[in-house]
Amino acid sequence: MANEIVMVAGLSANKGGSVVNPGNQTKQLTMTNSAMAQYAIALTTSATLVSFPGFAGVPACVLIKNNDATNFIEVGGDSGLTVFKLKVLAGESILITPSSATMYYKANTATCNVFVVAVDS
């Protein structure tokens, strides 16, 4: 079957008469494997390896939602968050296509509850 994965992202802004609004960007992917996961994690200020058991390899898509009301989290490709580093502010989400199944998450200031959804490729 085709197009089992649907990714949607959008961004718009309106300030002082200037507007950007390209509309939602949608991408559909076909799953060759059937692994899917969604779970909540309480992140501490130490880097935590988040794995995807049952996945054949690198997830096709990962959604990360920071449920904390105050503190941000960081996501990276190694425990020192030096391979790459993404910042997810309080209450925000990111949708990524990772290049590796090895992903570390870390709360910046205090423990943060995070919701993760991943689908296999």
pLDDT reported for residue 18: 95
pLDDT reported for residue 86: 94
What Å distances lie between residue 119 and 2, 5, 25, 61, CA to CA? 14, 8, 19, 6
pLDDT reported for residue 90: 97
3-state secondary structure the chain: CCCCEEEEECCCEEECCEEECCCCEEEEECCCCCCEEEEEEEECCCCEEECCCCCCCCEEEEEEEECCCCCCEEEECCCCCCCCEEEECCCCEEEECCCCCCEEEEECCCCEEEEEEEEEC
pLDDT reported for residue 52: 86
Options 2.60.120.770, 3.10.450.50, 3.40.1180.10, 1.20.120.1750; CATH for 31-120 is: 2.60.120.770
pLDDT reported for residue 65: 97
pLDDT of the chain, 121 residues: tens digit per residue: 688 899 999 989 999 999 999 889 999 988 888 899 999 999 999 999 988 888 888 899 999 999 999 999 999 988 898 888 999 999 999 999 988 888 999 999 999 999 999 998 7
pLDDT reported for residue 84: 85
